[in-house]
């Protein structure tokens, strides 16, 4: 697949991942379970989440809204001309989200492949009072959440690369056009 096609696929992938995540958070905000019991949270926070604590309900509304914005950002990044939206802003959003999601999937932020494997292999023992729950959540995180955030993060970094490359090509193209214009007047 040509590089251009991959970058377009990555933008659509980022939009689809954002839509899926936002749909899940919207469903949770409206009262559905939608994988809430598989969220890798410490036991106290998990209980508050499942009890529909107002703070968690509000956070689901915020995350659903943020996901909607992410869908728009991913789709706007596909446009050739970004006049109404500063390319640097889109570039900063894409790279920030990409790096954050890849770091989350790897385990830098506490959850992720490394932490899950350490817990499941016994290298890092789970809390004694919640050992079974911790193992269950680590399995879900290892098989669902970490790969999802890795895919989403890679899509965002590819969008960032496309935007950066587009900015560099745009600057180069305008310089070439200026040279051609100046050169045509001297003949």
What pLDDT is recorded for position 25? Answer: 93
Q: Can you list the alpha helix ranges (DSSP code H) found in the chain?
A: 3-29, 43-50, 54-76, 87-106, 113-121, 131-140, 146-186
pTM, rounded to two decimals: 0.82
Domain positions in the chain:
3-186
Q: What is the pLDDT of residues 100-125, one digit of tens each?
A: 999 999 998 778 999 999 999 999 88
**29-38, 68-77, 114-123: segment of lowest average pLDDT:** 29-38
For residues 147 and 153, what is the distance between their CA atoms, to the nearest angstrom? 10
Residue 160 has pLDDT above 70, yes or no: yes
pLDDT band at 6 (very low <50, low <70, confident <90, very high): confident
pLDDT band at 148 (very low <50, low <70, confident <90, very high): very high
For residues 113 and 120, what is the distance between their CA atoms, to the nearest angstrom? 10
For residues 107 and 125, what is the distance between their CA atoms, to the nearest angstrom? 16
Percent of the chain surpassing pLDDT 90? 53
What pLDDT is recorded for position 126? Answer: 87
């Amino acid at each position: 697949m040509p590089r251009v096609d991959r970058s377009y696929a990555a933008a659509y992938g980022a939009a689809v991942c954002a839509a899926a995540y936002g749909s899940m958070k919207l469903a949770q905000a409206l009262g559905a379970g939608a994988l809430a019991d598989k969220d890798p949270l410490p036991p106290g926070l998990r209980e508050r989440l499942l009890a529909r604590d107002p703070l968690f309900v509000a956070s689901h509304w915020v995350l659903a809204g943020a996901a909607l914005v992410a869908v728009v950002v991913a789709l706007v990044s596909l446009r050739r001309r970004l006049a109404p939206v500063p390319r640097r802003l889109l570039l900063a959003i894409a790279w920030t989200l990409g790096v954050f999601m890849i770091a989350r999937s790897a385990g830098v932020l506490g959850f992720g492949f490394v932490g899950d494997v350490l817990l499941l292999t016994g290298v890092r023992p789970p809390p004694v009072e919640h050992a079974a729950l911790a193992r269950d959540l680590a399995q879900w995180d290892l098989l669902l959440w970490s790969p999802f955030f890795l895919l989403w993060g890679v899509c965002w970094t590819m969008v960032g690369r496309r935007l950066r490359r587009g900015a560099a090509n745009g600057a180069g193209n305008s310089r070439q056009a200026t040279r051609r214009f100046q050169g045509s007047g001297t003949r």
